[in-house]
Amino acid sequence: MDETVFSYNLKVVECSTCGAPVVTKAAGGRVSCSSCGAPLIVAERFRERRQAMRVEEQGRIAGLHAQVESYHYQRSIFRKPEGLESFTEMLNDPATRSAGFEAYRQSWEKTRRRLSENDTPETETHFCRLALSMADIFSTSGQNDRVRAVLETALDLLREPDYRDIIRCRLARFALLSGDAVAGAAWLQDVDPTPLRIEVDTEYRLSLSLLHLSGQNYSSMVELLGSRGGDVPLIPQIDGLDLCLRSHGCAGVGDIKNAKRSILMSANQHDVAWVEWRWQSIPGPATSFAGRTASRAKKLASLAFSVAAFLLVTVIFVPVCTPSCYFVSCGSDVSQAEAVLVRLRQCPAAREALGKNITWAVGSSCGHGQCGPRFTYVMSVKGDKARGKVRYNAKQHGKSKIITMAYMMVDGKRVDFVPCRPIKK
């Protein structure tokens, strides 16, 4: 097979003078930069000496679950490099992208020098974050040779084994996404398959799942990622890679329900276009229905929101029930309300304004007066010709309520229709 940009048999690092990718064999040696001509000595690729695992798998998994529970992105190795937050925002704007990247480049070069002079845990962490971020920046612009050079340069300079394994997983991921399954598998062979740190374990599971996707080994994907969130310890991914791969694994083994569940979770975080892009960028068994599932979910969510908003408005402003139900809950009673309606129907002026078939309409309210046991009711009414509002006051008098005032407003005109008289229960 021809060598590719991520081939394991090659070694690609940055020129320490101009930053251009320098390609040599994995064994390293003397080489000149093809861009600036600077002579370089490239070290042989480092191979880890793994310690024997002294924790049973059940205990390791329990420890990883505990780390997921306390995981905080701002403290993780995957957060953006500290001090470059404003420049990270500049990368999203074409007008300021070059300035933002230059800030990253300068920080990279300064940290690289510090790392060779005084290796501290803080410097290691910052350098690893820079390497991951710059690889993503180069990947966005399609510069895979620069992705490879940044990551393998970091692999040479970092001392922390966990950080080196994260870099190897990223090299495997980029190789697999570029279509080089052979290189992806080779990079993963150098990674500890049973890490104790959740960041490393998550990276390994995702990269190995990508490898199984390329070989259509869907059952192994489900074993690595679970059928549902929480089945295995896994850090949720901002880019939705975990949900995408899990849905492909589930769909591949015929578990369409859980495949759609992962798509729906992604649709809750992103729009339909993003979901379609994510599932098309990593094609698999769930790609054929990812967009349709997300679109349906968005429509249902919109409908549910509309219904909820309607019900909220209805609860606040409009009693959704029969007139008799409303009168009882509002402090009035059915006989009183019906008596008011009878008076309204008997009033010639009201019939002239509303027409025939006068009845209560939706849209009513009530309230207590400020002095004594006095009640005010505002009711919507309708007839064949028009709609109106009836307002009447009732005062408690023993076991009866006396209507003290009643009128109707239709088209800005007031119609008084009930004389003051007691209404017995």
**Which range (28-37, 49-58, 195-204) has the least confidence?**
49-58
With beta carbons less than 8 A apart as the criterion, state whether 402 and 421 touch: yes
- Neighbouring-strand partners of residue 11: 24
How far is Cα 48 from Cα 124, in angstroms, rounded to an integer? 17
Q: For the chain, which residues make up each domain, given as ranges?
A: 1-47+55-175, 324-423
What residue has token string 């309409």?
A: 361
Could you read off the pLDDT of 251-291 as tens digits, one per residue?
A: 999 999 999 999 998 888 888 898 999 999 999 999 999 99
Look at residue 72 in the predicted model and tell me its pLDDT: 87
Return the amino acid letter for 146.
R
pLDDT classification of 322: cutoffs 50, 70, 90? very low
DSSP 69-98: HT--GGGSTTSPPTT-HHHHHHTTSTTTHH
Return the amino acid letter for 19.
G
Q: Is pLDDT above 60 for 133?
A: yes
Q: How far is CA 313 from CA 308, 309, 322, 365, in A?
A: 9, 6, 17, 13
Could you read off the pLDDT of 112-129 as tens digits, one per residue?
A: 999 888 778 999 999 999
β-pairing verdict for 10-14 and 21-25: antiparallel
Share of the chain above pLDDT 90, in %: 50
What residue has token string 């070694």?
A: 11
Look at residue 303 in the predicted model and tell me its pLDDT: 61
Least Cα distance to 248 among 298, 204, 214 occurs for 214
How far is Cα 250 from Cα 256, in angstroms, rounded to an integer? 6
Identify which has the larger pLDDT, 321 or 300.
300
Rounded mean pLDDT, 373-392: 78
SS3 317: helix
Q: How far is CA 400 from CA 359, 373, 394, 421, in A?
A: 24, 12, 9, 11
Could you read off the pLDDT of 82-119 as tens digits, one per residue?
A: 999 889 889 888 899 999 999 999 999 999 999 888 77
Tokens describing residue 70: 């306390």
Look at residue 305 in the predicted model and tell me its pLDDT: 52
